[in-house]
Amino acid sequence: MIRYALKCPDGHAFDSWFQSAEAFDRLQGAGMVACAICGATGVQKALMAPAVATPPAPPATGIPDRPAAGPLSAPQNPVEAALAALRRHVEDNSEYVGLRFSAEARAIHEGTAPDRAIHGEARPDEARRLIEDGVPVTPLPFLPARKAN
């Protein structure tokens, strides 16, 4: 895995993880790397320094010196709040079709399935074929919620 600092043509800066440098190049070439803030696809790598971690010196008391954080589920900044709102909107206003997304999107586009808003999961090659065939799809900046017992 590799993390890149990215920026869009509108100047928004964000970072994202990719399986490899080649994976980033393939996704960028296919127009599948979009700005996490505005959705623009002309995303480029930004200048970034290597992240070299050095262990912090332990405090004299043995208790880490850091401010108390809020609940983990609470958004920590406006971008996280906007992504949470987007996720709620998508989940409330569309049907989750899971791994059948490519087939369902194609069927809706061809008129063989009822017209409705859907979201789900697709492999990169499936998504690329949908885009090449003119099926209107877009990647979402979050993974589907996983149900666990």
List the domain boundaries for the chain: 1-47, 76-149
If DSSP codes are grouped into helix, strand and coil, which group holds residue 18?
A: strand
Q: What is the mean pLDDT of the chain?
A: 84
**Residue corresponding to tokens 């499936």:** 126
Render pLDDT for 40-73 as a digit per residue (tens, 0 to 9). Answer: 888 888 877 776 767 776 666 555 555 555 666 7
- 81 confidence band (pLDDT: 50, 70, 90): confident
pLDDT at residue 119 tops 70: yes
Contact (Cβ atoms closer than 8 angstroms) between residue 47 and residue 7:
no
pLDDT at residue 135 tops 70: yes
CB atoms within 10 A of CB 130: 18
Closest CA to 122 of 147, 97, 141: 97
The pLDDT value recorded for residue 148 is: 55
pLDDT at residue 32 tops 60: yes
Q: For 79-99, what is the mean pLDDT?
A: 90
